[in-house]
Amino acid sequence: MAIEIIGTGRAVPPKKVSNDDLAALIDTSDEWIRSHTGIGNRHIADESVACSDLAVEAAKNALAMAGGYTGNDPDQRDKAAEQAAAAIDVIILATATADFFGTPSTACVVQSKIGALNAMAMDITAGCTGFVYGLETASGLLSVNPLRKRALVIGSEILSKMTNWDDRGTCVLFGDGAGAVIIEKTLDNRESGLLYSLLRADGSGNESLVMRRGGSRNPYKKGEVVDTGICIEMNGQEVYNFAVKAITDTLETLMKTKIEGLGDISIERIARIIPHQANARIVQAAAKRLRIPIEKFYLNIEEYANTSSATIPIALDELNRSGQLNKGDLILTVGFGGGLTYGGNIIII
C-alpha cells in the first residue's frame, strides 16, 4: 500500500501588505523586520473572508489537479473540482483560526462548499505543525479502512483577524493563506508517497504561544467590555529557542529513520526540505547546526510571512506548480508551533 499525493493547491489573498506599509501604521521598519525575520510582505484577507473561504479555494485547486485540470479557467477548474470532490472520503483541516469557535468545524463548512458529500470532516489543532499532523492523521484514516481511498488535507489561516495590531512584536510576523493536498491510497507496494511521519509535542510550553481569551479557561463574561479580540500572545525568545531545537531534532531523526527499500537519507538524497517558516533565522540556525546547505530549504517567508498551518502546503504547491518536484524526489517537511508541537514527514514524490 502507498499513500500518494495526487493534487496540490493554494489560495492567498490578493492584498499584499509590505513592511513599509506596516511602518506607516506602527513603530517598526522594513530594516528591523527583514533583519530579524526575513519577512518582506504578508497577504491579508478582506474583512468578509473567513478561514473556510481560503480553504475552499485551495481545496478546489488541489481537487482540480487530482482530476487532471491545472489550467486557469475558473469554470473548468470548478467542474473538475466538483467531480473530484465526490470521491473524497476524508477531509482534515488544520487551523488555529477556525470560522467558528468550537463548533461547527471549518472542515464541515468546506465539505459543504465543495460538495464532498461522501467525506467525513474534522479540524485538528496543532498550531503551525497542523499540516504535518494532518497528513499523518489522514493517511492513518485511509490505511485502517479498506473503503476509504482519498483524503483532502488542508492548512488554512486568517491570522490577521487574531493579531493584536498594537503589539509590534507579533503583528509584523503573520499572514493569511491556505494550502491543500489530495492524497490517494494505492494498493501497489511502492516506496513512494508519504512514507513516515514524526509527530511530537511538548505541552509544558503551552503558554508560550497562546490565544488566552474566549475558551473555557478564560471566557468572555457578560457585561465585560472587550478592548481586544481573541489574539495571539507569544513569548518570542522562548518559542525561538524551542523552534531551532525542534527543527534540528526533527530533521536529525528523520534522516536517521530506516525505511525498507529507501536506503540512507543522506543530505545528497534529499531533494528539498520544506520547513515551517516563522522566521528565516530559525531555519538558517538549524541548517548551520546540521551542516545542510541552506539552498536545500524552500523558503518563501519573504512573500507570505508566517501563515502557520498553511505554510508547508503553500510551499508544496508552489514547488509542484513551478515544475520543481520530480518523480522520485525525496522531500522532508518540518513544522513547529503552538502547543507546543513539532514534527515532520518523509515524502517521495
Q: How far is CA 158 from the centre of its chain?
A: 12
Write the binding mask 80 to 119 for ligand UT7: x where contact by CB under 6 A, - elsewhere. ----------------------------------------
* Catalytic residue status for 61: no
Binding of ligand UT7 at residue 172 (CB under 6 A)?
Answer: yes
Q: Measured from the CB of residue 160, what is the shortest distance to ligand UT7 in angstroms?
A: 15
Neighbours of 14 (CB within 10 A): 8
Strands 209-211 and 176-186: unpaired
Among 88, 152, 158, 243, contact with ligand UT7 (rule: CB under 6 A): 243
Q: Identify the active-site residue in 128, 171, 279, 345.
A: 128
Among 164, 202, 211, 240, contact with ligand UT7 (rule: CB under 6 A): 240
Q: How many helices and strands (H and E) does the chain possess?
A: 11, 13
Q: Measured from the CB of residue 243, what is the shortest distance to ligand UT7 in angstroms?
A: 4
Task: Give the H/E segment covering residue 59.
Answer: helix 51-66
* Catalytic residue status for 206: no
Q: Measured from the CB of residue 39, what is the shortest distance to ligand UT7 in angstroms?
A: 9
Among 169, 215, 229, 263, contact with ligand UT7 (rule: CB under 6 A): 169
Footprint of ligand UT7 on 176-215 (CB under 6 A): 209
* Catalytic residue status for 19: no
Residues paired with residue 36 on neighbouring β-strands, in sequence order: none
DSSP class of residue 29 equals -
Residue least distant from ligand UT7 (Cβ)? 236
Q: Position of cell 485538528? A: 124
Rounded Cα distance between 328 and 208, Å, is 39
Among 122, 196, 236, 303, contact with ligand UT7 (rule: CB under 6 A): 236
Please state, in angstroms and as integers, the Cα–Cα distance from residue 95 to each residue in 33, 82, 158, 321, 348, following that order: 25, 23, 9, 24, 25
Residue 126 or 181: which CB sits closer to ligand UT7?
A: 126
Binding of ligand UT7 at residue 216 (CB under 6 A)?
Answer: no
Q: Position of cell 526533527? A: 250
Q: What helix, strand, coil percent values describe the chain, rounded to 5?
A: 40, 25, 40
147: CB partners within 8 A, 6+ apart: 89
Task: Please classify residue 175 by burial: count the beta carbons closer than 10 Å to its beta carbon, then call 0-12 exposed, 13-18 middle and 19+ buried.
Answer: buried
Q: Measured from the CB of residue 106, what is the shortest distance to ligand UT7 in angstroms?
A: 19
The count of chain residues that interact with ligand UT7, using the rule CB under 6 A, is 21
Q: Measured from the CB of residue 64, what is the shortest distance to ligand UT7 in angstroms?
A: 29
Residue 13 or 127: which CB sits closer to ligand UT7?
A: 127
Residue 197 or 308: which CB sits closer to ligand UT7?
A: 308
Among 278, 312, 314, 332, contact with ligand UT7 (rule: CB under 6 A): 278
Helix (H, G, I), strand (E, B) or coil at 315: helix
Residue 7 or 130: which CB sits closer to ligand UT7?
A: 130
Residues paired with residue 275 on neighbouring β-strands, in sequence order: 334
Footprint of ligand UT7 on 17-46 (CB under 6 A): 28, 32-33, 36-37
Helix (H, G, I), strand (E, B) or coil at 145: coil
Q: Measured from the CB of residue 37, what is the shortest distance to ligand UT7 in angstroms?
A: 5
Residue 91 or 251: which CB sits closer to ligand UT7?
A: 251
Rounded Cα distance between 1 and 16, Å, is 42
Residue type, 93: L
Residue 172 or 195: which CB sits closer to ligand UT7?
A: 172
Helix axes 51-66, 311-321, angle to 10 degrees: 30
Q: Identify the active-site residue in 276, 279, 320, 345.
A: 276
34: CB partners within 8 A, 6+ apart: 19, 40
Residues forming the site for ligand UT7 (CB under 6 A): 28, 32-33, 36-37, 128, 168-169, 172, 209, 236-237, 239-240, 243, 278-279, 282, 306, 308, 337
Q: Please list the active-site residues.
A: 128, 276, 306
